[in-house]
Structure 1
């Protein structure tokens, strides 16, 4: 069985010399109330037929309603505890985290209730300093931030 693959964008910006990282919080009842270690970059799964970079751009747009363009820097993939491989590109840019609009998904909630509810895939986005982002992001994805620092810091 092939391991699942995901692709995403690590968006960053600088304000007065301070680096900020955009992270997103997963929506839905399973993630409610989970904060530290539960944030992620905007990302999603892709198939063998889709190019990872194209998937990263598509997923960012689906999860934030923003289409990115610019000079992307490829980072080394990371492996999540689930075994999923995350392919990531970094881009310096800016979006308004307060106005993101995510695609949605449906699940039966509460379980076995027969009631289908719709939830946003991402319930919020926020800019964090590097120090904050390293605490908020999924532990397996911390390396993406460290890779970014190694590539952009003198």
Structure 2
């Protein structure tokens, strides 16, 4: 079975106390009550013949409702995340109104075995965090990209 792969964009900007990153809180009932460890870099899964950067750009737009406000992308490499997927991330410097983020949705049977299908946003809110706060908010497998971003700045 081939390894599942995802790609994402870690948007950053200069903040009052150093770099800030834009991340999204994962939507749906599984993450509704989880804050620390419940946020993610905007990303999405690749199909076998897709170009990773193209997927990262598409998924950013789908999950935040806006294209990436940048033209230059710095590769932050890959990492195997907790789910077993290999995640490839690029950094981009830009600014975006996190409060205006509007995500696409997914369908899930909820409550389980109820036969009732509901729509949930992939990301239910987005926010800017300094790197220290983002380390607490992000799911553990993605924190390595904050270290790589800090090293590249």
Structure 1-normalised TM-score?
0.95
Task: Tell me the equivalent position of 2:47.
Answer: 47
Q: Distance in 2 between matches of 1:17 and 1:119?
A: 34
Structure 1: state its 5+ residue gaps.
none
Counterparts of 1:34-73 in structure 2, within 5 Å, are 34-68=34-68, 69-73=70-74
Task: Tell me the equivalent position of 1:91.
Answer: 92
Conservation of the 8 A alpha-carbon contact between 2:37 and 2:136: yes
Structure 2: state its 5+ residue gaps.
none
How many angstroms does 1:61 deviate by? 0.3
Conservation of the 8 A alpha-carbon contact between 2:17 and 2:130: no
Task: Tell me the equivalent position of 1:126.
Answer: 127
Task: Tell me the equivalent position of 1:8.
Answer: 8
RMSD: 1.0
How many angstroms does 1:115 deviate by? 1.1
User: 1:17–1:83: structure 2 CA closer, same or farther, 3 Å change rule?
Assistant: same
How many angstroms does 1:17 deviate by? 5.5
Counterparts of 1:129-148 in structure 2, within 5 Å, are 129-148=130-149
Q: Distance in 2 between matches of 1:62 and 1:95?
A: 14
Task: Tell me the equivalent position of 1:33.
Answer: 33
- SS of the equivalent of 1:145 reads helix
Q: Distance in 2 between matches of 1:145 and 1:103?
A: 25
The Cα offsets for residues 89-147 of structure 1, whole Å up to 9 and x where unpaired, read as 00010101111010001111111111111111110101001110011111111110100
Structure 2-normalised TM-score?
0.96
Residues paired across the two proteins, number: 152
Q: Distance in 1 between matches of 2:28 and 2:135?
A: 23
